Structure 1
Amino acid sequence: MSGEAKRAATQEGCRSLPLGERLVAAGHISRSQLEVALREQRRTGELLGKVLVDLGFVTEEVVEAVLAERVGCRRIRLEFVEIDPEAVARVPEAIARRHHLIPLRLVGERLEVALADTFDVFAVDQVERATGLQVEVVGASQQEIDQAIDRHYRRQGSTLEGVAEEVLAHLEDDQEAVERGQDTPLIRLVDRLLRDAVEQRATDIHIEPEERVLRVRLRLDGMLRQTAVLPARLARPVAARIKILADLDIAETRTPQDGRINLEFGDRRVDLRVSTLPTIHGENVVIRILDQSGIVLSLEELGLSPDHLALLERLLRRPNGILLVTGPTGSGKTTTLYTALAALNSMERSIFTLEDPVEYRLPIVRQTQVNPEAGMTFAAGLRALLRQDPDVILVGEMRDEETAELAVRAALTGHLVFSSLHTNNAAGALPRMIDMGIAPYLVASSVNAVVAQRLVRRICNRCTTPATYTEEELARLGLPEAAGLPFFRGEGCDACDHTGYRGRAAIFEILEVDDAIREQVHRRASSAEIHQAAVAAGMAPCRQDGIQKAMVGVTTLEEVVRVT
């Protein structure tokens, strides 16, 4: 082979490599720099080229030049291209934004699409499936594509990025105007950020300052998803605006602060819990969204199986004792506790709660906010509450021995007590109380039952379709016993942002403390032994409940395995 042929073969092989390997082969970055960038890409979900530029390892021009070497793929400048609105209308906005692509024009049965990463085969497949057209790819810069998406899918300025450009143009004037409460682009930016999160049914907003950008992520259906990347210069003013809304000290940026915002969007009342944390790049802001309209207050709507529903209704008819709800943070424990209270709420009962914080307001219920700084701890509040003639008591969480002792005493003196614990399953709650210092005989005689729960993503009802699993796939999921059973999945559509999931559902296990379980508690059995005894007595574990719900199309097997 001649020297020229070898050179051509080397170049051809280089072009077939992934972007990172091509940059290493060309000497633009080192192997260690690529490894750092790949770790950052896994963390952020960004395109590798953008990550490399943000890290300062290469310039955008170098990335574009290497991408342009792709065989048969040309690069274009979108500012010189006329984009066909009909072509744009063929591709869902969610796909365009996720893959950083913009449809350009229709040519018969072919659709020309500009992609930031021209090697994104999955993006091409998504577009072809959504449109039924053959896709021809050209390359363009991610910045130009994102700007084109803003212009052609909705009016410029209607997205967060669009409003951010206006904010930057008036940033110095905005600072003083924001503090005076005047309407400014910055105020509109933050309002839009909050409104978008509520409209998308997010449970949390993460506003994360980094060296080069201000990243916005929303927790949707339990998973974090990036929704905007704003200029880093906006980190301080955005945090300041949120702190003003939450009545926090905007001058204090060195210590964490917590606050609360009450907002109304149309007929929806929303409480926002704000937490700030100093980081090396500025204040990280996380906002928990408590949508008053989203609370489930009917046992039937909790998603309990018929057997679980009948058991819980029977447990709620007991005049005294403790009902514990367990699960990790964000598993829906508060919703279950509030729904149980609502089922008992009437003019004939006196119901009190001790919470940190009070997340939702309930009618006819006396709700108290714990305030440790003022001496109002769970234990102090519960001690005072017992002198208020309660019938039913909700203690947000059993955090210490004193609170647990008072809850047990209340249960043994004729009160029905609801509370929560953080344990992996229902059986673990009983040894946990003993570990907190409660005598086994008191645990056995006071606890009526433990409800353990997890939240799974619900299959989108607009694109649900039957799913089949091979024996190998089921073995990999650890569910060989599910062979031959019917299951479902979501194909992905505009309604679910092409994820296949929309909303969440709960899966449960309910451990009733009967004589057999009491015997286990008396002898200080482990949680595994108690769990085994409960299953032998007929308890359906969370995973079993999840599989049953997967069989009727509520969720997928992958979700059940993920949370159990």
Structure 2
Amino acid sequence: MFATPDHNLDLNRLLDTLLAEQRLSATTALAVLDAAKDHVQTHPLELIASLAQDDPSATLDLDGLCQWLATKVGQPYLHLDPLQLDLGHAAGLVSTAFAQRHGILPVAADASGITIASAQPYQREWEADLLRSLGRPIHRVMANPASIRQVGAACGQLARQVAGANHQHGAGMAQLEQLLAKNRTLDTASAEDAHIVALVDWMLQYAVEQRASDIHLEPRRDKGQLRYRIDGLLHPVYAFPTGVTLAVTSRLKHLGRMNVAEKRRPQDGRLHSRLPSGQEIELRLSSLPTPFGEKLVLRLFDPQQLQQDFTRLGLEGTMLQRWEHLLRQRQGMILVTGPTGSGKTQTLYASLDRLASPQINLCTIEDPIERLHPALNQLQVHAALDLGFANGVRALLRQDPDVIMIGEIRDQETAQVAIQAALTGHLVLSTLHTNDACSAITRLQELGVATYLIKATLVGVMAQRLVRTLCQQCQTRARPESGACPQCRGTGFHGRTGLFELLVMSDTLRQHIDADADVQRLRQLAAGEGLRSLRQCGEDKVAAGITTEQEVLRVCA
């Protein structure tokens, strides 16, 4: 229907059908035909999409055109997303050169056959070659030609790096560890280590491109699993051979200034790196011994994320006004609570941004320092030098501070010095790990803080969570027939926002804090004074079309 005698897509027939269905204007069609004279190698759908961008009568972008054509020719359409494809398994079945020559990409393989994505639905010459070499049925799907090139090139490069690293390091880990133990940097090592360097560079670069907050490298019995946490959920990315996993782990430990030879104890490290793209990133590393090797988790610090204001964090309206009122206090303790990864640090930095002025001395003690701020005097925890949170706060108190931010209250000693700082005329901001705002009171009691000191110092607690936000490109898309959304990969979510529960201490609440404080009773009293729970905040976000009820229940269950 749409093919030329050589089985390529026929541009004229495509344009005729799009015009007949009123999906394109005649002016755009003529412009496409004129441009085709100088772009003979360009895929017809890419050419149409590029010139239809400013056509108000055009109803399809490139993904939409591909989906439209797939329906016409009776082939399934597949939006290519490396995070949702088992490319590591399928890529080894077809050589990169063969795939690029025919414009195809293997996307899945199992006992029933191999699935191949193509942007030329009538081209079939390569099918016989694959059927003969693989001995399996071929299942075809239609995909975006630009995505096939991009994903194919990236996966081909990655497959070559993994193969090269596996060949050189699969049986040579002892030599690699000896090399690293001698503090020889792999950046200047012999060419045999270049594959590991390239793999690590790719892993970090791709994590940034995919907006990952954490990288998990997990050893298994016969492979190593690479996963990224994106918008709060983990996504499998690639499965490395065991030897490659060990080499990549050693490389990262070396870069993070961790003891490469030590594999029996958990370790922490920090890495500042410049990516091949030129972007600088900060990462915090944590290793954990497991039966199959060391599991490594890398937390990515994005300075742009930490520079968000309250509104972009999702804190607004009456709750924002009450929070800003708390920040205007001259002394006392303000806590932000929630589990790891709930956005507590972002809220603290936004609060410090609001407080920063030439008239105020703001000091922080952090582990690690997640964002260098010109208005703050920042102190890094250093366990090897016996510089913990408690000792650090004592040192900061001798620096004439007005506001002190403590990265986390995690033990009795830190809690006691934080309370003392709040009692002696300082505003103290810190974090705790509790499920809700009222539980912060009993948590302080569990840490050994006297009840009368909690009454005297605590002025407010804000609990928070992060929920995924609905993809605005999907919600406001002017071209509803465009197919899968490249921004959210068809998940319907892109980015996250905060849910907040703000407890402002009142005389009534303080009267009910005793040695046997009942969290449920405190919560009821606070609700009577205007406390809105995390779930109620989530309901407001759902009503505003920001997120979904299922997403709120997922994080507030």
Same fold at TM > 0.5: yes
- Counterparts of 1:307-326 in structure 2, within 5 Å, are 307-326=318-337
CA distance in 1, matches of 2:139, 2:301: 35
Give runs of aligned pairs for residues 455-466 of structure 1, distance below 5 A. Answer: 455-464=466-475
What's 1:4 paired with?
none
Q: Which residue of 2 aligns with 1:15?
A: none
Relative to structure 1, the CA distance from residue 454 to residue 156 in structure 2 (aligned partners, 3 Å threshold; closer, same or farther) is closer
Q: Identify which range, 447-456 or 378-387, moves more after superposition.
A: 378-387
Amino acid at match of 2:109: A
Q: SS at 1:362's partner residue?
A: coil
Alignment correspondent of 1:428: 439
1:304 is aligned to 2:315 = yes
Matched, 1:502 2:494: yes
Superposition deviation, residue 156 in structure 1? 6.3
CA contact (8 A) 1:458 1:503 kept: yes
* Alignment partners' CA distance in 1, 2:138 and 2:308: 47
Secondary structure class of the residue paired with 1:154 = helix
Structure-2 residue corresponding to 1:116: 109
Asked whether 1:154 is paired with 2:164, we answer no
- Residue 541 of structure 1 aligns with an amino acid whose one-letter code is S
Question: What one-letter code is carried by the residue in structure 1 that aligns with 2:380?
Answer: Q
Does residue 452 (structure 1) correspond to residue 463 (structure 2)? The answer is: yes
Q: 1:153 to 1:322 in 2, by over 3 A?
A: closer
Partner of 2:50: none
User: Closer, same or farther in 2 for the Cα pair 1:277/1:202, shift >3 Å?
Assistant: same
* Cα deviation, residue 550, structure 1: 1.3
1:400 to 1:96, Cα distance in 2 relative to 1, 3 A: closer
1:545 and 2:555 matched = no
User: Which string of whole-angstrom CA distances, capped at 9 and with x for unpartnered residues, describes residues 210-255 of structure 1?
Assistant: 1221210011111111011122221221112112211223233333
Pair 1:155–1:143, CA change in 2 (3 A): farther
Letter in 1 for 2:238: A
Task: Kindly indicate whether residue 533 of structure 2 is the aligned counterpart of residue 535 of structure 1.
Answer: no
SS of equivalent to 2:473: coil
Deviations 1:185-230 (A, max 9, x none): 2211110011101111111111112122121001111111101112
Normalised by the size of structure 1, how large is the TM-score?
Answer: 0.69
**4+ aligned runs moved over 6 Å, structure 1:** 86-89, 99-102, 138-146, 148-152
Q: Is the 8 A contact 1:460 1:501 kept in 2?
A: yes
For residues 64-213 of structure 1, the aligned pairs below 5 Å read 91-94=78-81, 97-98=84-85, 116=109, 153-155=151-153, 158-171=156-169, 175=176, 178=186, 180-182=188-190, 184-213=194-223
The amino acid of 1:163's aligned partner reads: Q
Q: Distance in 1 between matches of 2:368 and 2:542?
A: 34
Match of 2:391 in 1: 380
* Partner Cα distance (1:378, 1:115) in 2: 50
Partner of residue 487, structure 1: none
Structure 2 counterpart SS, 1:203: strand
Shift of 1:372: 3.4
Paired AA for residue 186 in structure 2: V
Residues 333, 460 of structure 2: 8 Å contact kept: yes
Distance between the aligned counterparts of 2:137 and 2:167, measured in 1?
Answer: 19
Aligned to 1:287: 298
Q: Which amino acid aligns with 1:401?
A: Q
- Whether contact under 8 Å (1:492, 1:500) holds in the other structure is no
Is the counterpart of residue 237 in structure 1 residue 247 in structure 2?
yes
**Shift in Å, 1:333:** 0.7
How far, CA to CA, are the matches of 2:417 and 2:260 in structure 1? 40
Q: Which amino acid aligns with 1:189?
A: L
Q: Which runs of 5+ in 1 are unaligned?
A: 1-85, 105-111, 132-137, 467-490
Aligned residues, how many? 436
Structure 1 residue 157 displacement after superposition: 5.3
For 1:422 and 1:557, the matched residues in 2 are separated by: 25
The 3 A distance-change label for structure 1 pair 537 and 371 is: same
Q: What's the secondary structure of 1:462's corresponding residue?
A: helix
Q: Is the 8 A contact 1:444 1:522 kept in 2?
A: no
Query: Do the aligned partners of residues 113 and 227 (structure 1) sit closer, same or farther apart at CA in structure 2, a change above 3 Å counting?
Result: closer
Change (3 A) 1:157 1:450: closer
> Which residue of 2 is the match for residue 275 of structure 1?
286
Q: Which amino acid aligns with 1:116?
A: A
Of 392, 395, 404, 1:393 maps to 404
Deviation at 1:117, TM superposition (A): 5.3
In the alignment, does 2:267 pair up with 1:257?
yes
One-letter identity of the residue aligned with 1:496: C
In structure 2, what is the equivalent of residue 342 of structure 1?
Answer: 353
Question: What is aligned with 2:368?
Answer: 357
Give the structure 1 partner of residue 511 of structure 2: 519
Higher relative contact order (CA 8 A, sep 6+): 2
CA distance 1:323–1:119, change in 2 (3 Å): farther
Q: 1:152 to 1:383 in 2, by over 3 A?
A: closer
1:437–1:244 distance in 2 versus 1, CA, 3 Å:
closer
Q: Distance in 1 between matches of 2:273 and 2:152?
A: 26
Cα deviations by residue, 1:465-516 (Å, 9 ceiling, x for unpaired): 89xxxxxxxxxxxxxxxxxxxxxxxx96221122221111110010000112
Q: Deviation of residue 349 (structure 1)?
A: 0.6
* SS of aligned partner of 1:243: helix
Residues 403 and 530 of structure 1: is their aligned pair in 2 closer, same or farther, counting only changes over 3 Å? same
Q: What CA distance in whole angstroms lies between the structure 2 residues aligned with 1:96 and 1:344?
A: 40
CA distance in 2, matches of 1:552, 1:187: 46
> Which one-letter code corresponds to 2:390 in the other structure?
A
Aligned residue identity for 1:540: R
CA distance in 1, matches of 2:407, 2:417: 13
State the 1:439 CA deviation: 2.2
The corresponding residue for 1:215 is 225
Q: Residue 532 of structure 1 aligns to a residue in which SS?
A: helix
The verdict on how the C-alpha distance between 1:95 and 1:277 changes in structure 2, with shifts beyond 3 A counting, is closer
Q: Secondary structure of 2:393's match?
A: helix
* 2:499 match: secondary structure: strand
**Deviation, structure 1 residue 152:** 8.3
Aligned residues of 1:94 and 1:498 also touching (Cα < 8 A): no
Query: Is the CA contact 2:112–2:137 (under 8 Å) kept in the aligned structure 1?
Result: no
Measure, in 2, the Cα distance between the counterparts of 1:237 and 1:181: 14
Q: State the match for 2:70 in structure 1.
A: none
Q: Structure 2: state its 5+ residue gaps.
A: 1-72, 95-104, 121-129, 180-184, 478-482
Alpha-carbon distance in 2 for matches of 1:402, 1:262 = 31
Identical columns (%): 38
Distance in 1 separating the partners of 2:267 and 2:421 = 35
Is the CA contact 1:268–1:292 (under 8 Å) kept in the aligned structure 2? no
| TM-superposed deviation, 1:454 | 0.5
8 Å contact kept, 2:363–2:405: yes
Instruction: Tell me the CA shift for residue 359 of structure 1.
Output: 1.8
Q: Which stretch shifts more, 321-330 or 406-415? A: 406-415
Change (3 A) 1:367 1:95: closer
More divergent stretch after superposition (255-264 vs 348-357)? 255-264
Q: Is the 8 A contact 1:211 1:281 kept in 2?
A: yes
